[in-house]
């Protein structure tokens, strides 16, 4: 793997005359975002004909050699830990894995270690090129702590930037399995409703209006009913057209079909539970987490542009619950 702190040398030509230095260098280098190049220039890491300059808007002069030298990546703040991972695919650019339920993605107050980031540092720390100047994995998207399933993580800044752009543009396909209370009608459809912070409980998200002080962000979830159990519980396949926090959980609760086991959006024992046999009812009410699994992910490789498709079966606890519901 190339040295991420090696200098980048770019000789300006006549067509580059007057171009902003940060735009010129980002375009020529190709592996660093413009914001990253701008920050490096401001830190004094850029030279024009051997002379340091710190103005990202400095106009380019033809015939002059421009050099940008990123500093060596800083050690990651989270510590590397030997935590087993279920790796579905790995190359020098990215890692695709099946995240187990119960694993927090990123260190935060209350979860300072034992996270996916700690596990990735332990698994591939020396191979990480550095994201934003730090030797750390590039978290492109997240799954809630108690949601399981397929995730992709970048190992290089180029992969992180390209994959982040793909997620932002929804230039990918991802499907979730969700076990919900009740039977949706219609059996397949869309939930289009803006999502924002709950007005009273800031740890929760909610469907809110658009426009004004209480506005939310546009959100669209598509669902299809896969199976119905005892007329009171359904297994859905959900696809995200947007990617808001807790989107599937909020949208399904909004239409009256909260996820089984959801500790945040399932506020009371659902009326649909009365239709179930007692054993099934008790198993559902005892399920200790939201029954949500990221079943598949399809995207273009950030470097080769090949279409990559990955699938993962639900974890044993969710499979056992579905088996217990089956006639």
Q: Which sequence positions are flagged as catalytic?
A: 144
Task: Please state, in angstroms and rounded to a whole number, the distance separating the CA atoms of residues 310 and 120.
Answer: 19
CB 81 within 8 A of CB 118: yes
Residue 203 tokens read as 């740890």
Nearest CA to 232 among 194, 269, 265?
269
C-alpha separations of 19 from 13, 39, 43 in Å: 11, 17, 20
Cα-to-chain-centroid distance, residue 184: 27
Task: Please state, in angstroms and rounded to a whole number, the distance separating the CA atoms of residues 60 and 93.
Answer: 32
Give the 3-state secondary structure of residue 41.
helix
Please report how the helices 316-325 and 278-286 are oriented relative to each other, as an axis angle in degrees rounded to 10: 160
Q: Give the β-pairing of 173-181 and 148-154.
A: unpaired
Output DSSP code: residue 106. Answer: S
Kindly provide the residue ranges of all beta strands, DSSP E only, lying in the chain, ordered along the sequence: 8-11, 46-48, 51-53, 65-68, 87-90, 94-99, 138-139, 148-154, 173-181, 188-192, 195-197, 205-207, 220-229, 233-240, 292-300, 307-311
C-alpha separations of 117 from 66, 130, 163, 166 in Å: 36, 13, 17, 21
Q: φ and ψ at 114, to 5 degrees?
A: 70, 20
Residue 8: which residues within 8 A CB-CB, separation 6 or more?
Answer: 25, 28, 29, 32, 67, 68, 69
């Amino acid at each position: 793997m190339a040295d991420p702190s090696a200098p980048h040398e770019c000789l300006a030509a006549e067509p580059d005359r007057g171009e902003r230095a940060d735009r010129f260098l980002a375009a020529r280098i190709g592996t660093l975002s413009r914001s990253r190049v701008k920050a490096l220039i401001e830190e004094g890491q850029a030279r024009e004909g051997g002379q340091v300059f710190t103005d990202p808007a400095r106009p380019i002069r033809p015939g002059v050699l421009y050099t940008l030298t990123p500093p060596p990546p800083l050690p990651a703040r989270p510590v590397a830990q030997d935590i087993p991972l279920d790796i579905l695919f790995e190359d020098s650019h990215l890692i695709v894995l099946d995240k187990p339920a119960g694993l927090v993605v990123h260190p935060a107050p209350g979860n300072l270690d034992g996270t996916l980031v700690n596990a990735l540092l332990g698994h591939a720390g020396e191979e990480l090129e550095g994201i934003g100047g730090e030797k750390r994995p590039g978290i492109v998207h997240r799954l809630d702590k108690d949601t399981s399933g397929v995730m992709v993580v970048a190992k290089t800044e180029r992969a992180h930037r390209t994959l982040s752009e793909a997620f932002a543009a929804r230039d990918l396909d991802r499907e979730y399995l969700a076990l919900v209370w009740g039977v949706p009608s219609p059996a397949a459809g869309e939930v289009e409703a803006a999502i924002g912070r709950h007005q009273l409980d800031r740890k929760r998200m909610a469907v809110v209006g658009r426009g004004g002080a209480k506005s939310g962000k546009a959100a669209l979830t598509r669902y299809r009913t896969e199976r119905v159990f005892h007329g009171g519980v359904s297994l859905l396949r959900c696809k995200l057209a947007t990617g808001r926090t807790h989107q599937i959980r909020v949208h399904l609760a909004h239409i009256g079909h909260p996820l089984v086991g959801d500790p945040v959006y399932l506020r009371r024992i659902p009326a649909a539970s009365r239709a179930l046999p007692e054993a099934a009812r008790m198993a559902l009410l005892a399920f200790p987490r939201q029954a949500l699994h990221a079943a598949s992910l399809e995207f273009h490789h950030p470097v080769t542009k090949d279409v990559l498709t990955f699938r993962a079966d639900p974890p044993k606890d969710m499979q056992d619950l579905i088996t217990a519901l089956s006639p």
